[in-house]
Amino acid sequence: MEKRILDPETVQSFQTAILENYHASGRSFPWRTTRNPYHILVSEMMLQQTQTERVVPKYTRWLEVFPDARTLSQASLQDVYKEWMGLGYNRRARYLQETCRIITETYNGAIPSDPEQLDALPGIGPYTARAISTFAFGLPNVFIETNIRSVYIFFFYPEVQEVTDKEILELIEQTQYLPDPRTWYYALMDYGAVLKKKTANPNRKSAHYQTQSRFEGSNRQARGAVLKYLGIHGDAAVSVIADHSGIPAERLDIAVKGLVHEGFVAESDGIYRISR
């Protein structure tokens, strides 16, 4: 599809609609009241694939236990998993700790503002890197996530199917509110959150739309059960975890072998523990 160019009037009208909605009914989250790069890093890692309502109490507690990158880098992996528990996708906890170790050792504890440097850190992809750069340092990066995607499809592609992120990113770049990129992206996300409650999900028109896989009976559920048990109770055999969790030992055995292979869990004579 040929690149779409928006006229100045369309851009201004769009910006006004988004910002007016934000100033009237924008959401409030603790990570929006800070520009501390470490706090923003923690929030963005937690918000990957986890709903905001579940993140708020975990974010607050996390910063009490691990107030800075150096403290997190020196913590035991078992303590890290214990505090992460309940957020799901537990490998993010390890990535966050590994990232903080690199930040401590390579950047003397100072989180970089350059998206390319951020993108090179464990567990931080293109979106998270640019989100941290914008929300912590106020830089005008171009990035997309599910709520932002919804907004652009709703406004600019109401009758189009299979809209690509490439097309949307071109419009995001054209419509950036340069006086305050941080507020602009918060406003876009909040407008998208409202859209999903009031209309059929616009993201269904995206070429990248996927429904979330079932959690019950999944390998992700089994992995989470292993890490949860080991994080709370310490070393254990698969049979013990199976008795406690109600998940068949056969499924847990597959999950725990994957965790050992990835370095999250260590094994000795059939007894498993969180890697140190």
Tell me the C-alpha to C-alpha distance, in Å, between residue 222 and each of 136, 218, 254: 35, 7, 9
Is 64 known to be catalytic? no
Other Cβ atoms within 10 Å of 220 Cβ, number: 15
In the DSSP assignment, the letter for residue 216 is T
Helical residues (DSSP H) of the chain, grouped into ranges: 8-25, 37-47, 52-65, 69-74, 77-84, 91-106, 115-119, 126-137, 146-156, 165-174, 181-198, 219-233, 238-245, 249-262
What is the Cα–Cα distance from 217 to 203, expressed in whole angstroms? 27
Tokens for 90, please give them: 């537990």
Spatial distance between the Cα atoms of 271 and 260, rounded to a whole number of angstroms: 12
Which of 138, 114, 150, 125 shows the shortest CA–CA distance to 44?
A: 125
Q: How far apart are CA 82 and CA 96, in angstroms?
A: 14
Query: What is the rounded CA–CA span in Å between residue 272 and residue 239?
Result: 11
One of 2, 9, 20, 44 is an active-site residue; which one?
44
Tokens of 91: 């490998």
Residues taking part in catalysis: 44
